[in-house]
Chains A and B, each alone.
Chain A
Amino acid sequence: MHNMSIAELGLGLRSKTFSSRELTEHFLRRIATLNPRYNAVITVTEESALASAERSDEQLRNGAGGDLCGIPVLHKDIFCTRNVRTSCGSKMLDNFIPPYDATVVENFADAGAVMLGKTNMDEFAMGSSNETSFYGPVKNPWDITRVPGGSSGGSAAAVAARLGAAATATDTGGSIRQPAALCGVSGLKPTYGRVSRWGMIAFASSLDQAGPIAKSAEDCAILLQCMASYDPRDSTSVERAVPDYRATLNDSVAGVKIGIPKEYFSDGLDPSVEAAVMDSLAALRELGAELVDISLPNSHLSVPAYYVIAPAEASANLSRFDGVRYGHRCDNPVDLEDMYRRSRAEGFGEEVQRRILIGSYCLSAGYYDAYYRKAQQVRQLIRQDFVNAFEQVDIIMGPTCPSPAFKFGAKGDDPVAMYLEDIYTIATNLAGLPGMSVPCGLVDGNPAGIQLIGNYFDEASLLNVAHRLQQATDWHKLQPGGLD
């Protein structure tokens, strides 16, 4: 059952081949046996999962329920879940039990989906390897000596190991697409504003966006349909009709213009990853798509701009964690200042502290214009590159990451080496565009991903092209060894 698509699972549920309770028990058993190897799931909500499976079975018996009714999913531990610990991968929130659900969580619950538990992640979504989690790193199911990517490494590894039918994730600089690529699964970061951020713990508010990680583009379409909604509680949520993403999945890609940015095929790209990406592009050309060489001339500035903007926003967002109302509080503070400083030093890990310090630096008196304002101007240049490109092409494609998954500790002491992992994904967040990663082959047994970037609110085109590619190729069906 765990290898079936969401559509197939839906058919199985509706035809009474199996019940949601049986399906839920099946995934809970897989989590119990396999998760100790991967550390992808950090909270299992067995009791409430079984109760909600039974409610969904009741709905299904009455002929009610949509595509996700009775489907077991996992939520990244960045989404607030009522009465279920939401740690954001941090010691700071190890004791945090939210009194409310995030809108994304609510949308899934309303659709009758079953929450199996919460997935591990880099602390406060800051990382590209899952090594910064307070709960220990997630292991890549393809090779447990390698990282799963990050920050949504738990969600990507859980889907790769089939611990749930799908998982939610978030992406601030590549945190859905990069782990999806490294774990050989499909992941979609929607346009900024498409999915509500309410109840999603903030990292960088002008960049954060939630999306699905799943086994295929078709599954991602079904999941996005549920996740995307206008939410008056999030002032940056966009009031715009959500198209029927499944309706256009099978559209022909003949004549679709795919832009290939030369900057995404530069020196740092592993030649084997490049070859895998080119194979998928050739498959799309076979289907009638037209490949067009384009340029995104300011691409090289995206990582530097991001490491001003994201830390600046993070330093403001994370100021709320002060040990007063919730979260970690240090023992025996001598005064209020001591309580703030020690609670934060003890509660936040090294990478989170580094980004807060960088953010404070960039926003401090005398440096604001040189760093923050400058980065915002460069952000405008990067956005303009995409605006210009989308005058010539329908979508843009290239590699998701420069190389396949690296070994644990490989980028240990060098934050900048880790930051460059997101060199092809960050520009999309800065511009606010939708991006997707789907598997495109194996490099020495480890998955590589191809990235699709679309115009604003054109997730349907990404899903369409990715789905047609997956109809023509089998890369998304490959699974890690040692799993049934």
Chain B
Amino acid sequence: MEIRFTLNNNKVTSAIEPNLRLIDLLRDKFNLTGTKEGCSIGECGACTVIMNGKAVNSCLVFAGQCEGAEIITIEGIEKDGKLHPLQENFLKSGAVQCGFCTPGMIMSAYALLMENPTPTEEEIKDAIAGNLCRCTGYKQIIDAVEKSAKEVVR
């Protein structure tokens, strides 16, 4: 089947097998390998992308369900070669160690800031509850999101 959707602000078309998952479409057809596959069952959040303004696990969406959708991946949040404040602050706050969870973590935080530009610590924790990090611990990650919220609002 053929699907049309918006990927990182570009209108795209792709011929796919109907049972292809969104994560496979992104990684294998569009070479957007920033989105990671961890658990494949929606528990780790490494594959988080934004679909129609909401954070979703791309391992739990069929590509065939994305007709007409707007998808944003980690590759789509920098602007003119400049990192998004979330990306900057993850680096500065030491919120990245092995980096495998980082794209998903940032996309969950990005979705949060789209809806709620001034989140409390509890709201940040809730937003990233579906993203597992096994290296750094979550403190630095929460700090990075808090810092970014302040900068994005300004």
Whether A associates with B in a native complex is no
Interface residues of A (CB under 8 A from B): none
Query: What is the interface of chain B, defined by CB distance below 8 A to chain A?
Result: none
